A and B are shown apart, each in its own frame.
Chain A
Amino acid sequence: EIVMTQSPATLSVSPGERATLSCRASQSVSSYLAWYQQKPGQAPRLLIYGASTRATGIPARFSGSGSGTEFTLTISSLQSEDFAVYYCQHYNSWPLTFGPGTKVDIK
């Protein structure tokens, strides 16, 4: 099983600032990596797949990068609606696994 880790666990950011979230896989997942956003009481929403492809309707301030074992989600200028928990997920092999999440909160 591929274990996904995320850092930091919590990221405190001021509106308008840049946020950089990290995701690491215990072995290479190539570019088979997705990112999701989840707000309290809501279902997750797909942001990025293929490590760097934005999903339909996702604003350009969200960008993904990386391959192999190291990945980054960058939010270029945080808006109020971006404060949420972010999860990475690999789909390189079974079982599919998620990281534990990074909570982005208001500084």
Chain B
Amino acid sequence: EVQLVESGGGLVQPGGSLRLSCAASGFTFSSYWMTWVRQAPGKGLEWVANINQDGSGKYYVDSVKGRFTISRDNAKNSLYLQMNSLRAEDMAVYYCARDAGGGGWFDPWGQGTLVTVSS
């Protein structure tokens, strides 16, 4: 069974940092692009970042460029999102998902981890 489990969310002050992790199992992790998508409380979905199979290609939404870094460790079947200079508008549930289309559609999704940015 394909499974994605996020961790690392929590409460952080504005300007602070947080590192999210996503543990993958049930598929050949190194063969797939991966993605982070977020959802602010009561709002819709927003794509955040994508990474290709070997980590050489990374893409970001403009609002996080220069602050967030997506990375992966194929030996550990893990995806990461390093988030720096966090703002109130970054508060959201962060989902990792397998990018089944290589910069395309997302399937499946993890259960999400909540990031709260507040003083």
Contacts and interface: CB of A to CB of B under 8 A. Distances in A.
B101 A91 contact: yes
A46 B108 contact: yes
A95 B95 contact: no
Given A49-B100, A91-B101, A95-B59, A44 B47 contact: no
Interface in B7-40: 37
A98 B105 contact: no
Contacts of A106: none
Given A49-B101, A95-B59, A95-B61, A43 B47 contact: no
B36 to A, nearest CB: 11
A95 B47 contact: yes
B45 A87 contact: yes
A89 B45 contact: yes
Interface residues of B, number: 23
A43 B104 contact: no
Nearest to B93: A43
Contacts of A100: 44
Contacts of A34: 101, 104-106
Given A44-B95, A46-B107, A98 B44 contact: yes
B47 A98 contact: yes
A95 B47 CA distance: 8
A89 B35 CA distance: 14
A45 B2 CA distance: 13
Contacts of B46: 98
Given A43-B95, A87-B45, A94 B107 contact: no
Contacts of A89: 45, 47, 105-106
Interface of A: 32, 34, 36, 38, 43-46, 49, 55, 87, 89, 91, 94-101
Given A43-B111, A96-B47, 4 more contacts: A45-B108, A91-B101, A94-B59, A101-B45
